[in-house]
Amino acid sequence: MIVAVLLLVSAVALVAITRDIYRKWTSRLPPGPKGSVLVGNLFQVPATFLHRKLHEWSLKHGSLYTIWMGSQAYVVVNSVQVAADIFDRMSGTTSERPMMIKGRQFYVRDLLLQTQGHTLQWRANRRAVHANMNIRAASRFHPMQEHDAAYFALGLIQYPEKKYDKHCHRFATSMISGALYGKRIDHKDDSRLLHKIEEMTQRLMEALMPQNSVVDTLPFLEPVIRRVKWFRKQSDDWHEEATMEGFRLYNAANETDSWGAITTVQDFETNREKYGLSRDDAMWDTLALYMAGQETTHTVMRIFALAMLHNPAVMRTAQRQLDAICENRTPTFEDRPKLPYIEAVALEAARWRAPVPTSVLHAASAEFVYEGYTIPKDTILVDNLWSQTRDASVYPDPEAFNPSRYLDQTTGTLLPPTADTHLSLLAFGHGRRVCPGRDFALNSVFIACAYLLWAFDFSWPVDEHGNEIKCGVDEMVDHAIVVTPRPFDFVLTPRQKDLEERLTVAMKA
């Protein structure tokens, strides 16, 4: 019996490999780096910092090229204009998600918004999330965000023994958990449940990376893995844990609020029928927002600090604008129209070291032709944000941290978003798969940057010889989908008299 099964699997594998070799030879896909006949570029793709390798290849192969991971073709999109053409203008064909057998099918079972297929249920989920997180709806959280930005700055004074990274983590966690669940995180809170969700998020991100999945590289193995429970133990355990912990958070949130604002859970429970959501859908949608929002906001605030330390002239320009508008009081969202440079600092932090440099994979739901190349149905499309945010035709001197690129050079006001390329919001993705929490996240980053620049000067620590101890701009840590600066130390010097008292007053306002 075992021999018969092995012979059957071998025969299926041989047919699949022969078919795939033929597809590679006859495809009209964009050319890319050469790989082996059997596994393509599989052994050329690094386990970490994938975006660096993809960018290296883009310098040789241009704005569109193909790599092969075993039998699966990946078309990598590297320029702003080509990304706008493929992901925005052709979004009806390019908004599907790949099967991602390990992550999407085995781990989340097509319940998580970010990886869900382009189905009617996905549209209902997306509609419900958009109703809660669009630019107008997200403004209901302004009081909460102002309060927590002041608490962020105050914590840096009152808890100096904690690393900045830990303060960023608390701020980002408190922002998203407050909006979703009405759960605020203070400096002494060590929420086991939230830590558990974050650990599970990391495991899922690793599972979604194609180089970490044998079954996505060799999909003919799926029937075997699906039928043998031992192979699926990790994914089954993850799904059971995520469902249990997600409902713990969801159920605890029903009777809470968020600084007078209706939380996402409260809105879902009130309007589930209108949105077309089951209770399971609502739980997974809030969990999806938490998983996406916590890590990315945390990362952008670390990037912001790194940028200020390496660009003191930018820091001083931002502080001059804050001093002119706010004088001795703390900044608020009402000041935002008068603080375009602070807004530009937040946008540039998200571009300069894009926290999700290769985005989440897209797939073609039908065959399409672009610039003479034929992209077959089910081809995986890589929205390579790292290369796009280094597109010198759109971002001159892309390695420079330059907030002024978003400003009208005559008036100093923010330039309007560009319809063709939305260059100021590029880090949030494209088309129908653009990050639905974008406006809420930008609000959090804007007010946090404003508070920290108003309150402090940033400088590097020095060693016993007076030499600055710096973190390089490319000293990063890869957390699978999210890439973040490594932890680093720096010095915060208060800029305001009685700063602690002023921040305390701002929190009570």
Per-residue pLDDT reduced to its tens digit, 397-442: 999 999 999 999 999 999 987 655 556 788 899 999 999 999 999 9
Q: Which of 115-129, 214-228, 241-255, 456-470 has the lowest mean pLDDT?
A: 214-228
Average pLDDT over residues 250-271: 84
Residue 110 CB burial class (10 angstroms; 0-12, 13-18, ≥19): middle
Residue 236 CB burial class (10 angstroms; 0-12, 13-18, ≥19): middle
**What is the predicted pLDDT for the residue at 193?**
65
Is residue 216 very low, low, confident or very high in pLDDT (cuts 50, 70, 90)?
Answer: confident
Q: What pLDDT, in 10s, does the model give residues 138-167?
A: 999 999 999 999 999 999 999 999 999 999
Is residue 19 very low, low, confident or very high in pLDDT (cuts 50, 70, 90)?
Answer: low
Q: Of residues 191 and 219, which shows the higher confidence score?
A: 219
Query: What proportion of the chain, given as a percentage, has pLDDT over 70?
Result: 92
**What is the predicted pLDDT for the residue at 423?**
66
pLDDT at 25 over 90: no
Q: Which CATH number is 2-508's, of 1.10.10.10, 2.60.130.10, 1.10.630.10, 1.10.530.10?
A: 1.10.630.10
**Distance spanning both ends of the chain, measured CA to CA:** 74
User: Do residues 97 and 116 make contact, with C-beta atoms less than 8 angstroms apart?
Assistant: yes
Query: Which CA distances in Å does 160 have to 157, 302, 306, 460, 488?
Result: 6, 16, 18, 15, 14
The first and second tokens of residue 444, run together, are 């959090």
| Confidence (pTM) | 0.92
Query: What proportion of the chain, given as a percentage, has pLDDT over 90?
Result: 76
Sign of the CA dihedral running 209, 211, 213, 218: positive
Amino acid identity of residue 392, one-letter, is A
Q: How far, in Å, CA of 189 to CA of 169, rounded?
A: 12
Q: What pLDDT, in 10s, does the model give residues 64-121?
A: 999 999 889 999 999 999 999 999 999 999 999 998 989 999 999 999 999 999 999 9
Where are the alpha helices (H) located in 70-133, listed in sequence order?
A: 80-83, 91-94, 120-133
168 labelled binding-site residue: no
pLDDT at 15 over 70: no
Long-range contacts of 270-277 (CB under 8 A, 24+ apart): 271/128, 271/131, 275/124, 275/127, 275/128, 275/131, 276/121, 276/124, 276/127, 276/128, 277/124, 277/125, 277/128
